Amino acid sequence: MPTTAPTSGGAAPGLTDVTASDSALRRFLHGLPGVDAVGLEARAASLGTRSIKTTAKAYAIDLAISMVDLTTLEGADTPGKVRALGAKAVHPDPTDRGTPATAAVCVYPDMVAVAKEAVAGSDVKVASVATAFPAGRAPLSVKLADVREAVAAGADEIDMVIDRGAFLAGRYLKVYDEIVAVKEACGTDARLKVIFETGELSTYDNIRRASWLGMLAGADFIKTSTGKVAVNATPANTLLMLEAVRDFRAQTGVQVGVKPAGGIRTSKDAVKFLVLVNETAGPDWLDNHWFRFGASSLLNDLLMQRQKLATGRYSGPDYVTVD
Amino acid sequence: MSEMSDKPEKTGRLSVFKTYKLYVGGKFPRSESGRVYEVTDPKGDWLANAPLSSRKDARDAVVAARKAFGAWSGATAYNRGQILYRVAEMLEGRREQFVREVAEAEGLSKSKAAAQVDAAIDRWVWYAGWTDKIAQVVGGGNPVAGPFFNLSSPEPTGVVAVLAPQESSFLGLVSVIAPVIATGNTAVVIASEKSPLPALSLGEVLATSDLPGGVVNVLSGRTAEIAAPLAAHMDVNAIDLAGADETLAKELEIAAADNLKRVLRPQPVDDADWSAAPGIDRMTAFLETKTVWHPTGSLGASGSSY
């Protein structure tokens, strides 16, 4: 598995010239092949019909649990809630210590220190949303300060939102420069996830362009959504982004991760996404270093399914945590 | 149905056969397995195909019942009573259909089937009256040796799996569903295995009776196959074994022990028994008693007792 990651913004080998100017970038992004929307949705739907049972299902559920970015992004988050979330991330099912830990907990920047303490001693990472999440409507200086604070507090991963307004207005270089600047603020330790908010990008073509833009700018992960708008991760837009990371690696040798977020609530959905990953990007991405689920309620359903497989009895919401 | 199939020859119309479907979460799905089985009358003549539910249908029904529990148990007893009465009203309007279905299912004469249906309708009315009275009968204030008000009130248990009686396809069915939902529980009902059609038609009545979707979910199929996952299900709070034979009842009772389900064992019944006065036992079987202690204040200091 290639573990190379872009070191700094714009370092994608072979593609340096496309980010030289606004017009070159626009030419490149608009030169990407158009998306066959009907074909894309049909492909995503047909991959969703795969039957995953017994041992394969057990493997998929454990893999999915290990890929969850356990998320709480509410105005009402308290240190207590974040600590509880951290404890759950480390031991998702206290009655079965064989359950894998989740990949990370995802919180607002001011909760990073609390989260860090809650997962101390485990492999669970702390991810923080930043850059004026979820709208991304703030001056660059504020966004960068947001990122630096989160990194200083110990965040291992930063989830940034792109400036959708600039993107939709066609000011691609502004978006690009912003991602590059945020990547720089992340330093060498924190991995950067770039959120496109695909529900606001209107077209599949735009999602493809945003994916390439993000990867050119040095994203370690590309992420579908904030979970704060009506349309979040769908099989089709995730498939499209998986194609983008596959093609990007083929062209540049750099592997980028994918994170669908929002709206994935059942184990069945999660397993469908894993099928998409395996069939599109390939097994190299079937690892929580390269694929994540941004979710909160998904974990409970995965745990209930896991209990069902282990005991043969259907479990219920009484046997998992409320949050 | 055999009478129906004669008619087209007389009228020249093509026969319009009914597709019997499950009733889950207020909707009428087929079995997720796609399976059906042939339902016949006691003489062995084909009546219709009924869905052959799988354990996944049972699981989906429990999810629907759980979802409906909050609102149904939180509804006022008065409101529940009105809705149960509404069920009786709707049934009255479709009396002819049910008389025909019960007659075919159980091989009864028209008049005997009509007596069964009338008794079933009356039973809905009877339980409708009980919704706001049961708390007064089995709850109340308790005298305690201290300065406290001590109040007990019955609360619904939760999701109840109900194995409907195998022989009495309609009166027996109503006699086990109505007491469960009257007190605010929600139910997953397994219809009589060989005569499920009246139960599946009852779903259509419930759907048009202001009863929120998911309060009653009706499954048809092999009782043993559907009951096993329900009895073991950790999110089912109680099970009524009315329709289980002795061997099955024992197996299910063992499976039900895991999460300490309330179990109502099959009551010894002969055929006539469903038409006897039901009493309140079937309601109290699925109630939990909540007792609240509340200080009366400093009455003790003045030597007074209230």
CA B144 to the chain's CA centroid: 37
| Closest chain A residue to the Cα of B235, Cα to Cα | A316
DSSP string, A78-138: -HHHHHHHHHHHH-S-TT-TTSPPPSEEEE-GGGHHHHHHHTTTSS-EEEEEESSTTTT-S
Q: Mind telling me how many Å the CA of A220 is from chain B's nearest CA?
A: 39
Put simply, the answer to whether A313 touches B66 (Cβ < 8 Å) is: no
Nearest C-alpha in A relative to B58: A314
Asked whether the bond before B154 is cis by omega within 30 degrees of 0, the reply is no
What chain A residue is nearest to B258 in terms of C-alpha separation?
A313
Question: Cα(A320)–Cα(A93) distance, rounded to whole angstroms?
Answer: 8
Burial (CB count <10 Å: 0-12, 13-18, 19+), residue A91: middle
Find the CB nearest A318 among B59, B234, B258.
B234
Task: Count CB pairs under 8 A between chains A and B.
Answer: 27
Question: B101 is written with which tokens?
Answer: 């279905």
Q: Is residue B306 part of a domain?
A: no
Inter-chain residue contact A316 with B235, CB threshold 8 Å: yes
pLDDT of residue A92: 96
User: Which residues touch B229 (CB under 8 Å, ≥6 apart)?
Assistant: A313, A314, B55, B58, B59
Contacts of A53 in chain B (CB under 8 A): none
B62 in contact with chain A, both atoms CB, cutoff 8 A:
yes
* Residue in the structure block whose two tokens are 């003045």: B302
CA nearest neighbour of A211 among A202, A221, A254, A294: A221
B99 in a structural domain = yes
User: Taking CB atoms and an 8 Å cutoff, what residues of chain A touch B229?
Assistant: 313-314
Q: Do A314 and B62 touch (CB under 8 A)?
A: yes
- Distance from C-alpha of B164 to C-alpha of B199, rounded to nearest angstrom: 9
Residue (of A144, A170, A233) closest to A196 by Cα position: A233
- pLDDT, averaged across chain A: 93
Residue A112 to chain B, least CA–CA distance (Å): 35
Residue B6 falls inside a structural domain: no
Q: CB contact, 8 Å: B123 with chain A?
A: no
Mutate to test the interface with A, among B55, B60, B159, B235 (most CBs of A within 10 A): B235
DSSP character string of B187-252: EEEE--SS--HHHHHHHHHHHTTTPPTTSEEEE-S-HHHHHHHHHH-TT--EEE-TT--HHHHHHH
pLDDT digits (tens, 9 = 90+) for A251-282: 999 999 999 999 999 999 999 999 999 999 99
Token pair for B111: 């008049």
A200-215 pLDDT, tens per residue?
999 999 999 999 999 9
B154, two tokens: 């019955």
What mean pLDDT comes out for the span A49-55? 94
How would DSSP label each residue in A209-260?
A: HHHHHHHHTT-SEEE---S-SSS---HHHHHHHHHHHHHHHHHHS---EEE-
The two structure tokens encoding residue B215 = 């309060």
Contact B235 A313 (CB under 8 A): no
Inter-chain residue contact A314 with B232, CB threshold 8 Å: yes
A73 Cα to chain B: minimum distance (Å): 25
User: Which residues have CB under 8 Å from A310's CB, separation 6+?
Assistant: A96
pLDDT of residue A255: 97
Contact A314 B234 (CB under 8 A): yes
Confidence at residue B12, expressed as pLDDT on a 0 to 100 scale:
85
Task: List helix spans (H) across chain B.
Answer: 2-11, 55-74, 77-93, 95-106, 110-130, 134-138, 171-182, 197-207, 223-232, 246-256, 281-284
In a domain, residue B43? The reply is yes
| Domain count along chain B | 1
Catalytic residue positions of A? 159, 223, 259
Contact B233 A314 (CB under 8 A): yes
B15 within a domain of the structure (yes/no): no
**Helix (H, G, I), strand (E, B), or coil: what is residue A194?**
strand
Chain B residues whose CB is inside 8 A of the A315 CB are 234-235
Q: What is the extent of the structural domain holding B132?
A: 21-297
Taken in order A163, A165, A168, A172, the sign of the CA dihedral is negative
The answer, for B226 touching chain A at a CB cutoff of 8 Å, is no
Q: Which pLDDT belongs to residue A7? A: 42
Domains of chain A: 39-311 (3.20.20.70)
Given a contact cutoff of 8 angstroms between Cβ atoms, the answer to whether A158 and A187 are in contact is no
Q: Which residue of B has its CA nearest to A307?
A: B234
B305 within a domain of the structure (yes/no): no
Q: Which of B:242-271 have CB within 8 Å of A?
A: 258
Any domain includes B304: no
**A234 pLDDT above the threshold of 70:** yes
Residue B165 in contact with residue B75, Cβ under 8 Å?
no
Tokens representing A113 are 């220190």
- Judged against a pLDDT cut of 50, whether residue A1 lies above it is answered with no
Q: How far apart are CA A15 and CA B106, in angstroms?
A: 78
CATH number, domain containing residue B212: 3.40.605.10
Q: A57-85 b/e with 16+ CB inside 10 Å = b? A: beebbbbbbbbbbbbbbeeebeeebbbbb
The partner residue sitting opposite B232, judged by closest CB among A313, A318, A319, is A313
Which of B236, B244, B241 has the alpha carbon at shortest distance from B217? B236
Which of A98, A104, A63 has the alpha carbon at shortest distance from A86? A104
B51 and chain A in contact, CB less than 8 A: no
Residue in A closest to B55 by C-alpha = A314
Secondary structure of A293-305 in HEC code, one letter for each residue: EEECHHHHHHHHH
Q: Which residues of B touch A314 (CB under 8 A)?
A: 59, 62, 229, 232-235
Rounding to the nearest 10 degrees, give the CA dihedral for residues B271, B272, B276, B278: 10
What backbone torsions phi and psi does residue B23 show, to the nearest 5 degrees?
A: -125, 105
Which of A63-67, A244-248, A317-321 is predicted least confidently?
A: A317-321
Distance from CA of A153 to the nearest CA of B (A): 41
Which portions of chain B are predicted below pLDDT 70? 1-10, 268-272, 298-306
Residue of B nearest to A315 (CA): B234
Structure tokens at B28: 């009428």
ipTM of the complex: 0.82
CB A239 within 8 A of CB A85: no
pLDDT value for B2: 47
**Residue to test with chain B: of A300, A314, A319, most B Cβ within 10 A:** A314
Residue A10 has pLDDT above 60, yes or no: no
Q: State the smallest CA–CA distance between residue A72 and chain B in angstroms.
A: 24
Strand partners, A65: none
Q: Which of A297, A309, A313, A318 to mutate to test the interface with B (most CBs of B within 10 A)?
A: A313
User: Which of B234, B237, B258 is the best substitution to test chain A (most A C-beta atoms within 10 A)?
Assistant: B234
Q: Which residue of A has its CA nearest to B230?
A: A314
Give A314 to chain B, closest Cα distance, Å.
5
- Which chain A residues are closer than 8 Å to B234 by Cβ? 307, 313-316, 318-319
What is the rounded distance in angstroms from the CA atom of residue B35 to the CA atom of residue B19? 13
Strands (E), B11-57: 36-40, 46-51
pLDDT at A323: 75
For residue B303, count CB atoms less than 10 angstroms from its CB and return exposed for 0-12, middle for 13-18, buried for 19 or more: exposed
Asked if the structure places residue B14 within a domain, the reply is: no
